[in-house]
Amino acid sequence: MLLNISTIVFAASITLFCWSCYGRFRLLLLGRPENRFNDVGKRIRGMIYYAFGQRCTVSHGYRFGWNHLVLFWSFMILLIANTEFLLEGLFPDFISFSLLPVSVYHPLAVLIEIASVLALLAVCIAMIRRLAFPPSYIEARSRDAFIILGLIALLMVAFFGLHASEIAQGSEEAASYMPISKFIASTVFSYVPSENMGGYISAFWWLHAIVLLGFLNYLPYSKHMHILTGIPNVFFRSLVKVNTQPREEFKKGNSFGVGKIDQFTWKGLIDSYSCTECGRCSDNCPATATGKLLNPRLVIHDIKVNLLKNGPLIAKKKDMVLPLIGGGEGSVSDEVLWACTTCGACMEVCPVFIEHVPRIVDMRRNLVEMNAKVPDELVSMFENMEQRSNPWGIVPGDRAKWAAEADVKPFETGKTEYLFYVGCFGAFDARSRKVSVAISRILNAAGISWGILGKDELCCGDSMRRLGNEFVFDRMALENIRIFKEKGITKIITECPHCYNTLKNDYRQYGLELEVIHHTEFISNMIKAGKLKLNAKDSGNVVFHDSCYLGRYNGIYDAPRNVIASVTGHAPIEMERRNDRSFCCGAGGGRMWMEENTGKRINVERVEEALKKDPGTICVCCPYCLTMFEDGLKAKKADARVQVLDLAEMVSGALK
């Protein structure tokens, strides 16, 4: 009778769980197609390394990641135990560990004992952490979090209770392989007569059953959905750095960008299920840190809420009730979308490889391309880009003006090897023009064959793509590619990391393979090759700032540091946040062209961090960073004692 009821309860619960999962899974199919099945071997290896190895949770100095690792592996082991429990519940007469040979059963029993106790410990640590040293974001202490932690703890208590009472009754033959249960049996249950143990056994069994089934059915509706989707999400991760956004096809009748939940790809949707709400993205986001409305975790959360709300309606071909772009829970506001600097810090630290930036750009595209809803200051910038191929709308004929101060030759097809692609800042901005001159000196000193396009150079379109104006970007890219092909350009040295990334990674989507080298890389190579001779001299405290598009986007961390060491004789002073955890200057993602009215200014935040190191020089590799740092120093009234130099300027000054 008892078992009959349990079979029904188990069957019903498992069916309900499967139904919930199916409901969630079905919604993923609403997304647009995207191929994430290529190179399966690499994906599996990655899954083992990142998910099973928990490389991503313990990385980046997150100490509590170890707690998760313990919990994760305890869970993996308990998965076996709980599967047995569920199957035993369904088919009581056929399935039980005790039916296994002793040589397997006994070690397994020990393992499960240990895993259970570790899980219980890990849960306690997690609870204490949330209560005593709460993480920066509020949801870490949500009801959801405590319910789950409580359920796990209860499950472990029930587990030990069940085994201890079985041992106390004397019905567990592997008692000696269950040290903790045995200890509890001999202490807690020692006063209970063994004939009364049956009641305890069934009570703990039911407690275990109810908690387990409850937990199972609670999962799909909580943030712990990631227990189910996290590992697949790691499998489906982008195999290359997410340093570009996909192309769009500009055909009549198409819809552009993402303005409705079903316009994301299925990967974009499963990302939202996989968020563990660990808050690392928000911790590292420069916008969140300086009080902007944007919080990358909430963007992903809103996508999930929107999917859950609208998804079933879409499946029934009904009208959606919640706009994706708007505001409020489940809806992302314009202001949030425009606040992103596309620095990629969120993606860098995400343990389950969620791709925040492409989602934000997807939605920006919708604002720009379908609704033409952009901040006022961008309208003129877009027009300038389209008409004059630079963000300020300066006369294109003035592009080569900087070259009057340097020894520069035009690029000649067939004769010149490297194109020095100066970029808009390097060509027009008075400060960055000095960097262009410095680079030209270095190129000449290295004795390579190089030239510029002068007034025929066009903007690469980086800002347009990040701002979601893919239509204009597409035209700019095609025009540049036409010029590169026409002139036979294959090797390009860039001044700006944004040009670098665009020419290298964005243009690859157009079938153009260029050898693109950022000047830091070039200088570093030339020093190594002995082609640049420098007079190393100590130039005081030099603090180095990583550019997002060089570092996180393209993995160039060492080259600039090596060069600084060659120039000054010692490694640069590092800021707290550096390398892949570096903090954006605030200008990327088109933010350079927009007002920053909310919260603290990002560049000021970063400058303050640099000033803690008492630098004489702040060394950067990007014209955006250069501008932002100089502005920030002026705002902090520190511009008299601290100078900002591009790496090329430091090198140029040290040339023999």
Partner 1 sequence: MEEEKKIRKPRGVARLIPGKCIACGARCQSDCPEDAIEMNEKGEPVINTAKCIGCRRCVKICPAQALEMYFTPEELKIIAGLAATVPEVVTTVEPGIKEYRGVWIFVEHTEGKPATVSWELLGEGAKLAKTLGVELCSLVIGEKVEHLCQESFAYGASKVYLIDAPVFQHYRTETYFRAICYLVEKYKPEILLMGATGMGRDLAGAVATKIKTGLTADCTGLDIDEKGYLLQTRPAFGGNIMATILTEKTRPQMSTVRPHVMALAKKDESRTGTIVRESMDIKEEDLPTRVIEVIEDATGEQLDLAGAEIIVSGGRGMCGSENFTILQELADELGGAVACSRAAVEAGWMPAERQVGQTGKTVRPKIYIACGISGAIQHLVGMQGSDVIIAINQDNKAPIFEVATYGIVGDVFQVVPAIINNIRELRERKVDK
Partner 2 sequence: MLIVTCIKQVPDTTQVRVDPVTGTLIREGVPFIINPYDTHALEEGLRLKEKYGFRVAVISMGPPNTEITLKKAIALGADEAVLLSDRAFGGADTLATSQVLSEAIRRLGQKEEVAIVICGRQTIDGDTAQVGPGIATRLGYSQLTLVDRIESVDLKAKKIRVRRRLEGRHEIVEAKLPAMIAVVKEINSLRYPTVPMRLMAEDSKATLWDNKIMGLNENTIGLKGSATQVRKIFSPQRTSGEIIGDGIKDPKEASRLLIERLIEKRALSI
Angstrom distance (rounded) from CA 204 to CA 265: 45
Site membership for partner 2, residue 522 (CB under 8 A): no
* 491 vs 601 by CB, closer to partner 1: 601
The length of the chain, given as a count of residues: 656
Site map 103..142 versus partner 2, x via CB under 8 A: ----------------------------------------
- Three-state SS for 293? coil
Question: What is the closest distance, in whole angstroms, from the C-beta atom of residue 341 to partner 1 in the complex?
Answer: 16
Q: How many CB atoms lie within 10 A of CB 170?
A: 11
Q: Which of 240, 372, 430, 529 binds partner 2 (CB under 8 A)?
A: 372
* 186 vs 380 by CB, closer to partner 2: 380
User: Which positions touch partner 1 (CB under 8 A)?
Assistant: 377, 380-381, 391-394, 428-431, 593-595, 597, 601, 627, 631, 634-635
Site membership for partner 2, residue 251 (CB under 8 A): yes
Q: Is 417 left (phi over 0), alpha (psi -120 to 50) or beta?
A: alpha
Q: Which of 50, 200, 204, 382 binds partner 2 (CB under 8 A)?
A: 382
Q: Which of 113, 271, 334, 369 binds partner 2 (CB under 8 A)?
A: 369
Q: Which of 192, 207, 228, 370 binds partner 2 (CB under 8 A)?
A: 370
Picking from 296, 344, 280, the residue whose alpha carbon sits closest to that of residue 61 is: 280
Q: How far apart are the first and last CA of the chain?
A: 93
Q: Could you tell which of partner 1, partner 2, none binds residue 250, using a CB distance below 5 to 8 A set by kind?
A: partner 2
Angstrom distance (rounded) from CA 179 to CA 357: 50
Q: Could you tell which of partner 1, partner 2, none binds residue 368, using a CB distance below 5 to 8 A set by kind?
A: partner 2
Angstrom distance (rounded) from CA 437 to CA 431: 10
Question: What is the closest distance, in whole angstroms, from the C-beta atom of residue 499 to partner 1 in the complex?
Answer: 17
* 433 vs 578 by CB, closer to partner 1: 433
* 75 vs 392 by CB, closer to partner 1: 392
How far is residue 456 from each of residues 396, 397, 487, 640, measured CA to CA in Å? 8, 8, 11, 38
Q: Which of 70, 325, 368, 526 binds partner 2 (CB under 8 A)?
A: 368
Q: Which residues, other chains included, contact 482 with Cβ-Cβ below 8 Å and sequence gap of 6+?
A: none
Angstrom distance (rounded) from CA 41 to CA 52: 15
Site membership for partner 2, residue 483 (CB under 8 A): no
Q: Which residues, other chains included, contact 441 with Cβ-Cβ below 8 Å and sequence gap of 6+?
A: 406, 407, 652, 655
Q: Could you tell which of partner 1, partner 2, none binds residue 624, using a CB distance below 5 to 8 A set by kind?
A: none
Q: Could you tell which of partner 1, partner 2, none binds residue 232, using a CB distance below 5 to 8 A set by kind?
A: none
Q: Could you tell which of partner 2, partner 1, none binds residue 351, using a CB distance below 5 to 8 A set by kind?
A: none
Picking from 109, 98, 52, the residue whose alpha carbon sits closest to that of residue 75 is: 52
Question: What is the closest distance, in whole angstroms, from the C-beta atom of residue 48 to partner 1 in the complex?
Answer: 49
* 129 vs 475 by CB, closer to partner 2: 475
Residues 389-418 that bind partner 2 (CB under 8 A): 395-397
Q: How many CA atoms lie within 13 A of 243 on its CB side?
A: 23
| H-run or E-run covering 646 | strand 643-646
Angstrom distance (rounded) from CA 395 to CA 399: 8
Picking from 579, 572, 35, 68, the residue whose alpha carbon sits closest to that of residue 344 is: 579
Binding interface with partner 2 (CB under 8 A): 250-252, 256, 368-372, 374, 376, 379-380, 382-383, 387-388, 395-397, 455, 471
